[in-house]
Structure 1
Amino acid sequence: MFIFKILKNIVIFLIKQIAKICLFFVILGVIILGIFNYLSPKKEVAEIRNNSYLQLDLSRKYNENGVNPLEYFNPGGIDFYQLLKSIDKAKIDPRIKGIFINVDESILNRAQIEEIGEKLKEFRKTSKKVYIYGANLDNKNYILSVYGDKIIMPPSASSTVNLTGYFMETPYFKKLSDLVGVKFNVIHVGDYKSYGENYVKDKMSKEYKENISRILDKVYENFIKTVSIERKIDEKTLNERILNGKLMVATPKDLLKYNMIDKLQYLEDFIKEKGKDNFVSVDDYVKEGLVRKGENYKEKIGIIYLEGEIHYKDNGSGFKDKITPESFEEKFNRALEDKDIKGIILRINSPGGSALASDIIYNQIKNSPKPVYISIGKVAASGGYYISSGGSKIFADKESLTGSIGVVSLIPNVEELVKKLDINLESLQKGKYASIYSLTSKFTEEDREKLYRSNELVYKEFLNRVSTSRNIKMEDLEKIAQGKVWLGEEAVKIGLIDKIGGLEDTIKEMGKDLKLSKYSVKEMKTQESINNILNSYMGPMMTVQDILSLKINKKIEKNDLYFKPLMYYPYEI
């Protein structure tokens, strides 16, 4: 046994060292590449000729978190707000003849598609044209395509079309958990609070199915209406074709026949037709625009981006987007201390997370001496909505996800797995409930009741915050709470938000309310130091070491997403 123990320790040591070395070279490579980019001669701003086409690349991410750590060494990337402003500028720029968008591999979320779609509709009111190209079209990129003057696909049978109703599947792990011996005790407050149910149930709950089906039906209904209006196709006929499967695994010729696209043409032929040198990337256009016409009025509106899960502390888990009270306070205080900033807009994209962190951030917003408006992007649900409710006015896109007012706790337990591995764990305990957070002790009904009562207090606090901030009677709020999730267009009708609109609509409303005739927008981006960036890279390395050192229990205990009350809705629609 002693020999085996030595061999085991040697293997673990070697794996740890290999992991360290690999990660070290990854870090070193990134730093060297970054320094090289930083020191290399900067590309001159491209000259934009007359009759140019602004080219939008939607296969890349346009950040809404106010920071991209990799840009520390190579600044210049544009964010989503700058993307919107580039379309505004192109609309009045005499050199720009039109916009060209390749929608293949688009990673825009629904809220961003809505906001860009509205911009394209404004752009088309001029004599300028919007050309859309897609070799493969589905519901997500086609809904953006219909905002173009011309939709083009290649004349190829291998080009795919998949337009349908919807399909969503969610794995349920209860039987697997029982088999392995890893269980989750999930404590919900709110009948519709569904997070974690797939760990303790073997099928979808009636409440979750009802909630998610309503949302999916509404999104599909919006899709049919938008396509029908923009392409001038009878709504009933379009719906029948889609639900009958005529547009699934279809071809560009099918879409052309049904007036859903305008032309069959290869991409290279289209570019040749318009002139290869007449296309200007949005990056070059933004750089050139800022150099030539950088408006900088004294009075300003500040934008703070809040994207990702909400955590009480930053646990150093790499570059994963996250929101913490500390990171929020740093940006918020800078905006408050800037005398030129007259109002603050929070652009929120968050499924929620730590209840405590959400409450701390809410309190800072609620007590702000400057007006704070909220712009909900893709999602501000549960803890994300908790934060949002602190704002004076809340805007959201039609298909933004919000609400999910409820609380849940996840308590993992590996007691059965430990028994299967024939491990004997000896414990010492003094005090009732001292083992309530143990991964390996039996979780009793009394433990469950204790945690439920704690979560119930958190839920009531959540309700009180929303009731006060949104001026909704408690009995009315209870009907729309319980963990129910709402689309933006539903939320405005029940008082959870004030208006349907995107980021720019929120900015314009604040400017109008503050009676600012001329103002600039200042984005409060995170001030990353090289030390913070390196620490972010080191996060994953520490996780590997901890797992190999069998420090899993301590890591889980420190994770905000276990044991503690959560306000969380991490599902995609």
Structure 2
Amino acid sequence: MRDFIKYTAASAVGAFLSLVTLMILLGFGAVGLLTFVIATASRDTEPQIEDKSLLVFDLSVDITNSIPPGGPEVVIEEALYGDLGQAVSLKTVLEAIDQAANDDRIVGLLLQGNTFEGLSTLREVREGLVKFKATGKPIIAYEMGWAERDYYLISVADTIILNPSGILELNGFSAETQFLAGALQKYGVGVQVLRAGRYKSAVEPFTRTESSPEEREQTQALLSDLWQDFLTTAAQERDLTPQRLQQIADAGGLLMADEALQAGLVDEVAYFDEVLSDLGELTESEADTFEDFPQVDLVDYGLRAEFASDNSSDNTIAVVYAEGEIVGGESAPGLVGSDTLTRLLRELRQDDDVKAIVLRINSPGGGAAASELITREVELASETKPLMVSMGDFAASGGYMMAAPGDTIFATPTTITGSIGVFGLLLNLKEIANENGITWDVVKTAQFADIGTIARPQSPQELALQQDIVDTLYNRFLGIVSESRDMTTAEVDQVAQGRVWSGVDAAEVGLVDEIGGLSDAIAAAARAADLEEWQVEEYPQPRTLEEQIFESLFGQIISRLPGAQDPLTQEIYAFRDRLRTLGLLDDPNGLYTRIPFTTTIK
């Protein structure tokens, strides 16, 4: 009976989504439908590239660690909500830059816009730009203003041009944590904590009003590593020293255009019409407007590169993306589902055409049970064929657990990793419920039968029982890393304790093998499999059209409301996201391997 209800419900949902799709298309009318078909067809057409064209890289594009949606579903979203901005995978960006470097039709590259990507992603893109620059083709950067993330990337440019009214912000990194303990206490929500690892601070926003000494210590160390990498990287192409950049930051770090020019941070101060003159010389064009210059957008060029790629090889390297919180069940946008990923890894290790696997992890961790299920499949896959791990901006806690069995782990210096530890968060509503006239009574057949109740705090005996489980899971975590990394349990414990590490420090303590990015991991996989020719296939494939329409209609409305980016709304959204994280704590045992909340670097 239960299966009948389940399958009937699934069929009903599928029928409903099909009906929604049909209603949307009918709602467009004949003209709308024609526009839809034309727009969809245009997405599959290679862009025409003129001779002496400029490759234009809009830094505001969303660079994903997975395959972004494309095709008709994007057209429908834009019809419903307007232009939502472009998204492109990191692999596509790197391949596009590499191909453009050797494309005789491309004479230079223009960087414009502002980025919100993590430093690890930006570092991989920057390395691609360095290779492009080495061919002798110029890179020009122009914008109204930049912050540190932007400058980390654009500092590679041959010519950096800032608008006369622009501002360059180089005032350092900060990590700000929002604490909810006072609000929870005010409204009568009780919180108890289980934890293994003295640096495992993911619970602190719910139990404290400020960071613990251990959390402040590890966050300061992490920020210092990231900042030092920024100083070194940004200075090396600008004929400056890290010490000089530090002086600029300590002096305030907010420079008007002329001040940035005087400090040597930019090469020119000019309006865009003046920049057009230089671009005209580069492209040998007399166009009056930027739109008329011979150019191609990097995203469109990247899609063209995918069309032109040679997929004739029988040897496949599978790039598997694990991006988001680790949860049980199926994957969804921003969620790594253990059922989805284990099933995929199992299929790939049993596929004889797949000669090697690259697991790209961009995850802060999540459920302990889900993380271990995935880790087991990674281990089995690595026993069958070469399996390399490429860490993105985050590969921490449960994200590190599933990386550990990889043959070789690659990370960038700015990857946030480690956080080997376990925690549990126990909430109870006794106080707020009692104040509002709600009480509970319980009848049970054993002392600990109601150990999962939210009606009261846990007793000391119950806490001790659950802490034993946390300690056991922590020891299992240590054992997985110890066996995978050829370290003793004591050695792992010394660098574990929930401690967060930068990629460069993780390499020093033995948690990472190589400093490198996704391209390095793919190349290593090819070498390990003794491949001279191969094709790369990416997994998992994007969701179906019906799934994306459903999410578009019902899951993204709030984020598109006017004013969504003002500071007050951002803080409210931060509060909402903290509470949303509670909703993702779906581990059957209520125990988690997740990075702390203080990893948003500003």
Relative to the length of structure 1, the TM-score reads 0.86
Distance 1:557 1:251 in 2: 44
Distance 2:390 2:142 in 1: 30
Which 10-residue stretch deviates more, 470-479 or 286-295? 286-295
* 2:509 pairs with 1:494: yes
Which structure 2 residues correspond to residues 47-66 of structure 1 after superposition, within 5 A? 47-66=48-67
Match of 1:467 in 2: 482
Change (3 A) 1:272 1:237: closer
Which 10-residue stretch deviates more, 284-293 or 475-484? 284-293
Q: Secondary structure at the match of 1:288?
A: helix
Change (3 A) 1:532 1:177: same
1:341 CA drift (Å): 1.8
Change (3 A) 1:306 1:398: same
- 1:17-58 CA-to-partner distances (Å, cap 9, x unmatched) read xxxxxxx99996599679777523522433211211111122
Change (3 A) 1:513 1:556: closer
- 442, 463, 477: which one pairs with 2:492? 477
Name the count of aligned residue pairs: 530
Match of 2:450 in 1: 435
Q: Secondary structure at the match of 2:228?
A: helix
- 573, 591, 597: which one pairs with 1:565? 591
Change (3 A) 1:522 1:434: same
- 128, 149, 164: which one pairs with 1:140? 149
Which 10-residue stretch deviates more, 418-427 or 444-453? 418-427
Cα contact 2:67–2:542 (8 A) shared by 1 = no
Q: Secondary structure at the match of 2:366?
A: strand
1:70 CA drift (Å): 7.8
* 2:256 pairs with 1:251: yes
Change (3 A) 1:326 1:71: farther
- Unaligned 5+ segments in structure 2 are 1-18, 77-85, 281-289, 557-580
Which structure 2 residues correspond to residues 84-483 of structure 1 after superposition, within 5 A? 84-104=94-114, 106-156=115-165, 159-245=166-252, 247-248=253-254, 250-271=255-276, 273-275=278-280, 276=290, 277-314=293-330, 320-368=333-381, 369-483=384-498
Identity in percent: 25
Which 10-residue stretch deviates more, 222-231 or 393-402? 222-231
Cα contact 2:72–2:545 (8 A) shared by 1 = no
Distance 2:594 2:33 in 1: 39
1:372 CA drift (Å): 1.1
Cα contact 1:103–1:145 (8 A) shared by 2 = no
Change (3 A) 1:561 1:71: farther
Q: Secondary structure at the match of 2:60?
A: coil
Q: Secondary structure at the match of 2:164?
A: coil
Which 10-residue stretch deviates more, 301-310 or 430-439? 430-439
- 1:477-521 CA-to-partner distances (Å, cap 9, x unmatched) read 111000001111111111111100000011111112222112221
Distance 1:151 1:119 in 2: 18
- 1:182-238 CA-to-partner distances (Å, cap 9, x unmatched) read 122121110000001121122211110110001111111122222222211133233
Change (3 A) 1:538 1:148: closer
Distance 1:427 1:125 in 2: 73
Distance 2:406 2:467 in 1: 29
Change (3 A) 1:38 1:225: same
Q: Secondary structure at the match of 1:436?
A: coil
- 1:430-478 CA-to-partner distances (Å, cap 9, x unmatched) read 3222222212223222221111111111000000000000001111111
Q: Secondary structure at the match of 1:68?
A: coil
Cα contact 1:437–1:563 (8 A) shared by 2 = no
- 1:301-341 CA-to-partner distances (Å, cap 9, x unmatched) read 11011100001124x9xx53111122113432443344322
Relative to the length of structure 2, the TM-score reads 0.82
Cα contact 1:66–1:524 (8 A) shared by 2 = yes
Which 10-residue stretch deviates more, 335-344 or 531-540? 531-540
Change (3 A) 1:407 1:244: same
Match of 1:45 in 2: 46
